[in-house]
Chain A
């Protein structure tokens, strides 16, 4: 019975052992599976640093099969062999749970170098004796690569940054240089403006004063601090000179060129207004005040001289005129003598015309060319001048026509002066048109503009293109005209222009050399 029981017990134990063994095997295989499944390459080392076991990942990473590598020392698969020996000594002092991590270079079976992180842990038995080591190897080559790349990138980036920093510094330097130059330029300009002999004012778009130089302060009897930033409405009430300035230049501040402004009998300013586009942006209105007192004084003296001289000349001229005119009627003279007297008389007439022209110019310049306006029919003036010149045209065999459009042309003019203007233009046309040419005078009405247009068209020598600009200036005579006829003062058109403009009219011409000229002027109608 006992034996039976014993056998039974043994059988049970055996069974249990078998089962336990089976269980252990299962666990072991489970652990093996788990071990081999781990993605980290792992190997066991015995206490003498010899590989005793590896897993699948180890095989994969190193290229060595378990059979090939088990029994080899760990140094075999690493580049840093000496370092590994050192680690072995270090590990002996390592506490149980500590893990040592070292970066090493793995040499695979194909002798490829792979950067790896190696983790070491010590295996101890229950009594604490070292029974071996665990080694886990992680491929960090990718990480390394990324790290290297990153580092390279950082280096690259740093270089780039350095470059941009330098570029930026250069830019800053350039900017500084430009700023310095601009500042220098500004200072220079400021000095120039400050010491400029002319007065200078600048207005912005909204017509506020933004600049006034010391000369302008002096001319306008004003202090910069009191006027800067003020607009025209305020400024014109500042004092008489400011008011006069805006009256002369116009409150619209359009461009004016050398307009005269009399401050007193001996103080004259010339105003020039220019609109300056500053950097294509805001329009600046620049006003230059130029002192022309000295020029005016000289001009006045000159005019006075001419005026006195002309008056003094007139007396003897009238004596000659009257004497010759009496001699002209002398019946006892023979033809030759009569002709001589007539020529002397005509020459004297020319002299009188010249003196009259000079006197008129002197008066215009002195501002004494007084106008005495009367309400008259303009056509009558033209007709009267036309009739007085008919004989001259007939002598020159010129086809001489007058055309006056219908309707009244009432103007308020100084008859004597307007007659002179009309006469100057028609006479010029006749004078500089060769024989058998044509001169057409016309008067028309421009209803919409409420003005009349007078014109004289000739088939004369014309005005050379390069001289057209100067035609209205004093003493100017066209080169072709001088060759043709020596007589002439070059004052007629200057006087004519002054007369027309003083009446609020405009004068202009179109001309082609050797073809002819048309002169026009307008006069405002009174009714």
Chain B
């Protein structure tokens, strides 16, 4: 499996945990620890899936998605939000900006995050077919 996954998350430990878990499953994992670096990485790597935090230094997750919307070359890359909060207004906003899924960190184990990743990747694959 050579799918590229980009994790944009400012919390180093969570970032490491996810990276190790996904790497062990055979994904090519890239990381960025703020929105700005994340956006640059998206353009550079053109990943198959992005795991995106919302509250981050320099540029937040919503802003990253807004920037993506403006750029047709990266606009359709599937995004799974990983956040600390899950207010309906935030969920709505994420949906409008094209997020595929939303995870509240305290309510999901990394195991469940992984299964969401597989879900989204399968869906996007079938979309292409």
Contact = CB atoms under 8 A, between A and B. Distances in A.
B85 A318 contact: no
B99 to A, nearest CB: 16
B101 to A, nearest CB: 15
Contact of B105 (A314, A371, A372, A416): A314
A326 interface: yes
Contacts of B111: 325, 329
A370 B87 contact: yes
B13 interface: yes
Nearest to A356: B106
A321 B109 contact: yes
A105 B43 CA distance: 149
B110 interface: yes
A319 interface: yes
Interface in B78-104: 84-85, 87-89, 91-92
B17 interface: yes
Nearest to A353: B106
A40 interface: no
The dominant DSSP class at the A interface is helix
Given A325-B109, A352-B106, A370-B88, A319 B14 contact: yes
Contacts of A329: 111
B84 A326 contact: no
Interface string A343-383: 00000000010011000000100001011100000000000
A315 interface: yes
A317 interface: yes
Interface residues on A, range: 20 to 34
The dominant DSSP class at the B interface is helix
A323 B11 contact: no
Given A315-B11, A356-B106, A322 B88 contact: no
Contacts of A311: 55, 84-85
Nearest to B21: A326
B106 A318 contact: yes
B24 to A, nearest CB: 10
A370 to B, nearest CB: 5
A364 to B, nearest CB: 13
Interface of B: 11, 13-14, 17, 21, 55, 84-85, 87-89, 91-92, 105-107, 109-111
Interface of A: 311, 314-315, 317-319, 321-323, 325-326, 329, 352, 355-356, 363, 368, 370-372, 414, 416
24 contacts: A311-B55, A311-B84, A314-B105, A315-B84, A318-B14, A318-B105, A318-B106, A319-B13, A321-B105, A321-B106, A321-B109, A322-B17, A322-B105, A322-B110, A323-B17, A325-B109, A325-B110, A326-B17, A326-B110, A352-B106, A370-B87, A372-B88, A372-B91, A416-B88
